């Protein structure tokens, strides 16, 4: 499929280049900001996929995203720079050889402080929006989903939690945490509070902080992305210790 290069402004190009956290001959990785769709959003604005045209080579080829993040989730996202790398990473993703770690802010710490959520999910379309909900295992169309969580810091104002999705379902971490009564701060879709530590939580407080993946050259690579300033500010406001 031939795609027309996006018409990018100098500001677009400068922005996407500023998000690069790793680049080598095979892959390029970004710290995606919240509010930017990975691909194909309905909003008439550039997606990260569009912005990858800023890295197009003279032969017209450009990096291809290996996976996605929800529009409102920030953090590490990986793209392949060559067709062989895309094939290698696509197979590795299917084989679940990627390990993703997220950070989230919650209004209160989970009980127990760490655990595993093994709850199938079902996708539903409501109007023009897609939602996921926890269902019984024998529900037609149900997808197995497994998440792990661990509380890193907690105070009277909230908690900082590390999340590890063993499977990659849409909205998985958001729905799983809501299912145990701990929706993510700022997640209006799944019942999260729109304030945190007395301040506005104006967007989903979920950040893809670390990605470990097999590299086309061999071995594994670990990439980390700093949390955005608004996430850090809320964390500090709640008196939650900074993670080393």
Cα separation of 29 and 48, whole Å?
Answer: 11
First to last CA, the chain: 44
Residue 158's H or E segment, with its range, is: strand 158-165
Q: Where are the alpha helices (DSSP H) in the chain?
A: 10-18, 48-51, 83-94, 172-179, 229-237
Structure tokens at 29: 């990785």
Cα separation of 160 and 150, whole Å?
Answer: 9
Question: Measuring CA to CA, which residue among 235, 165, 229, 199 is closest to residue 33?
Answer: 229
Question: Measuring CA to CA, which residue among 149, 169, 178 is closest to residue 70?
Answer: 169
Annotated active-site residue in 70, 72, 138, 164: 70
Is 118 designated active site? no
Cα separation of 9 and 154, whole Å?
Answer: 43
Cα separation of 49 and 12, whole Å?
Answer: 12
Known catalytic residues are: 70
């Amino acid at each position: 499929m031939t795609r027309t290069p996006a018409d990018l402004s100098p500001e677009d190009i400068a922005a996407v280049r500023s998000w690069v956290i790793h680049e080598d001959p095979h892959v390029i990785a970004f710290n995606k900001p919240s509010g930017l769709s990975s691909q194909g959003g309905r909003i008439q604005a550039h997606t990260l996929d569009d912005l990858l045209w800023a890295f197009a080579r003279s032969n017209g080829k450009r990096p291809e995203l290996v996976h996605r993040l929800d529009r409102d989730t920030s953090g590490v996202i990986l793209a392949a720079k060559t067709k062989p790398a895309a094939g290698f990473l696509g197979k590795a993703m299917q084989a679940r050889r990627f390990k993703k770690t997220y950070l989230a802010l919650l209004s209160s710490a989970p009980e127990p402080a760490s655990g595993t959520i093994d709850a199938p999910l079902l996708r539903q379309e409501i109007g023009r929006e897609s939602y996921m909900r926890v269902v019984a295992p024998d529900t037609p169309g149900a997808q197995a989903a497994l998440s792990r969580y661990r509380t890193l810091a907690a105070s009277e104002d909230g908690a900082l939690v590390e999340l590890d999705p063993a499977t990659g379902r849409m909205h998985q971490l958001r729905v799983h945490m809501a299912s145990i009564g701990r929706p993510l701060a700022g997640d209006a879709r799944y019942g999260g509070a729109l304030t945190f530590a007395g301040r506005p939580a104006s967007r989903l407080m979920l950040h893809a902080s670390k990605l470990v993946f097999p590299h086309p050259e061999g071995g594994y690579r670990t990439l980390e992305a700093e949390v955005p300033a608004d996430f850090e500010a809320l964390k500090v406001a709640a008196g939650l210790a900074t993670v080393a």
